[in-house]
Amino acid sequence: MNRLILKPGREKSLKRRHPWVFSGAVAKVQGNPGAGETVEVWSATGEFMAVAAYSPQSQIVARAWDWEHRAIDGDFFRERIERAVTCRRSLMGDAAAMRLVHGESDGLPGVVADRYGDTIVLQLTSAGAERWRDAIADALLGTGGVARIWERSDADVRALEGLPPVTAALRGPREPTRVVVTEEGLQFAIDLVHGHKTGFYLDQRDNRQQLKALANGRDVLDAFCYTGGFALNAAAGGAKSVVALDSSAEALELAKENAALNGFAQPEWVEGDVFQLLRKFRDSRRFFDLVVLDPPKFAPTAAHAEKASRAYKDINLLAFKLLRPGGLLFTFSCSGGVSADLFRKIVAGAALDAGVDAQVVAQLGAAADHPVALNFPEGEYLKGLICRVPG
C-alpha cells in the first residue's frame, strides 16, 4: 500500500480532522503512488491517520477521504453523495436549483456538484476527484431525477494540481447551453457553458430573499449584478427603481433576458466598471435607498489580502456616500483570503471615512446547501453584512 509518512508532530491538524496534508509536513512517500491514487497517511510514530488522495504536484499533497481504514471505491462515492443529497433534501426540500455537493465540507475534497433542474454541473478541482470522475458521475446519476451531467472543470485552481481545464458532457445529451430554473418564484436562465462558476451564484439564495423583503418602495442599486440575481429580486420586492451594473456584456445580456422572462420592465442595466460608475454617481449626486455590493473574489488567498482590502474599502466607502438617510447597504466578500473579522473592519473603516455612523443590522453567509464542516473553516468563504445608516 502506498503511504505518506508525516514528519514528527505534523499529524496535529489531521487529528482535528482537517482534511489537508501540506507537502512540508511529509517526511517520506512509500510505494509509488500516481496522481489521485489513494494513499494511507501515517504519523511519524506509526499511527494511522487517514486514507487520502495523493496530489503530487500540489502544495496540498494529499486530501483525506476518510479517517478510517476503508476502501475508496464506487461504494464510497455512492455513500458520500447520498449523504450530501439527504442533507439537502432535509433542509431545502425539492428546490430546483441547489448545490448537492460542497467539496471538503461534504467529505468530498475537490468535488462540487450543482443541480439545475434535471442537469447537474460537476466541477472537479483535485487530482483525487479527477481520478474518480466516473464513480462520482455514476453516483450523482443515481440520486434521482438527473438526466445529464455537464462537467465544468475549468476553475483556475486546477492548474495548481497540474490538471488541464475540462468542459464536456459527462453523462446524457451533449452541449447543454441553457437551462431555466425557478428560484423562490423567479425564473433565471442559466448559461451552463460560459457562465461564471457552474453558471449561477447559488450561494446568495437566502440573501436575495432578504433583499426582496427590504426592497419595497426603495431606489435600489445592484453593483456587480451578473445575471440579475439581486436586481430582479429587488424588482419583485416592489422597489421604486432598480439600477444594475456589471462590466460583462454577456452577463447583462442574460440579465435582460431574465428580466423579460419575469415580465419586469426595470431594472436599468448599465455596462461598465463599478469603481468608476460609483464615482460618477457620487459626483452627480445620484442617491439610493439600498445598495448591493457583491464583487468578484478580490483575494483568492491571504497573500492577496492587502490589495483586496483597498478595493473593498474603496467600493464600500463610495456606497456609504450614495445612501440616503435610513438607507441599507448589502455588502459581501467571497474572498477566502479575507476573514469575516477583517471584512467587518474594512467596512467599519469605509463608514468612518465616509462620515456615516452605520450599524450592522444582519450578518449574512452562504445558504444551507453550502454547509461548512466545523473541521474545515476554509469552507466559510462568503461573508455579508447588512448595514443601515441613520435615518
Query: Which residue number, 151 or 203, has a Cβ lying nearer to ligand SAH?
Result: 203
**By CB under 6 A, residue 310 contacts ligand SAH:** no
| Per-residue contact string for residues 19-38; x = within reach of ligand SAH by CB under 6 A | --------------------
Stretch that binds ligand SAH, among 85-93, 269-277, 281-289, 318-326 (CB under 6 A): 269-277
Q: Closest separation between CB of residue 275 and ligand SAH, Å?
A: 6
**42 to 71, contacts with ligand SAH by CB under 6 A?**
none
Query: Which residue number, 81 or 252, has a Cβ lying nearer to ligand SAH?
Result: 252
**By CB under 6 A, residue 287 contacts ligand SAH:** no
| Per-residue contact string for residues 172-191; x = within reach of ligand SAH by CB under 6 A | --------------------
Q: Closest separation between CB of residue 359 and ligand SAH, Å?
A: 23
Q: Closest separation between CB of residue 285 and ligand SAH, Å?
A: 21
**By CB under 6 A, residue 262 contacts ligand SAH:** no
Active-site residue, from 87, 225, 334, 387: 334
d(CA 321, CA 140): 48
d(CA 197, CA 176): 15
Task: Report the C-alpha dihedral over residues 137, 138, 142, 144, rounded to 10 degrees.
Answer: 30
| Per-residue contact string for residues 223-242; x = within reach of ligand SAH by CB under 6 A | -xxxx-xx------------
**By CB under 6 A, residue 390 contacts ligand SAH:** no
Question: Which of 140, 274, 367, 389 is the binder for ligand SAH (CB under 6 A)?
Answer: 274
Question: Which of 38, 204, 210, 335 is the binder for ligand SAH (CB under 6 A)?
Answer: 204
**By CB under 6 A, residue 268 contacts ligand SAH:** no
Task: Provide long-range contacts, Cβ within 8 A and 24+ apart, for 112-117.
Answer: 112/198, 113/81, 113/140, 114/197, 114/198, 114/199, 114/200, 114/202, 115/146, 116/179, 116/181, 116/190, 116/192, 116/199, 116/200, 117/179, 117/180, 117/181
**By CB under 6 A, residue 246 contacts ligand SAH:** yes
Q: Using DSSP bridges, classify how beta strands 241-246 and 323-333 pair: parallel, antiparallel or unpaired.
A: unpaired
Query: Are the C-beta atoms of 229 and 259 separated by less than 8 Å?
Result: no
Query: What is the grid cell recorded at 60?
Result: 496540498
Task: Find, among 323, 332, 321, the residue nearest to 293 by Cα.
Answer: 332
Alpha-carbon distances of 305 from 91, 160, 273, 336, 337, rounded to whole Å: 34, 20, 21, 9, 6
**By CB under 6 A, residue 251 contacts ligand SAH:** yes
Q: Say whether 225 is catalytic.
A: no
**By CB under 6 A, residue 296 contacts ligand SAH:** yes
Stretch that binds ligand SAH, among 145-153, 177-185, 236-244, 294-302 (CB under 6 A): 294-302
Query: Which residue number, 156 or 357, has a Cβ lying nearer to ligand SAH?
Result: 156
Question: Which of 89, 253, 275, 344 is the binder for ligand SAH (CB under 6 A)?
Answer: 275
Q: Closest separation between CB of residue 272 and ligand SAH, Å?
A: 7
Query: Are the C-beta atoms of 322 and 290 separated by less than 8 Å?
Result: no
Q: Which residues are catalytic?
A: 334
Using CB under 6 A as the criterion, which residues of the chain lie in contact with ligand SAH when the complex forms? 201, 204, 224-227, 229-230, 245-248, 251, 273-275, 294-296
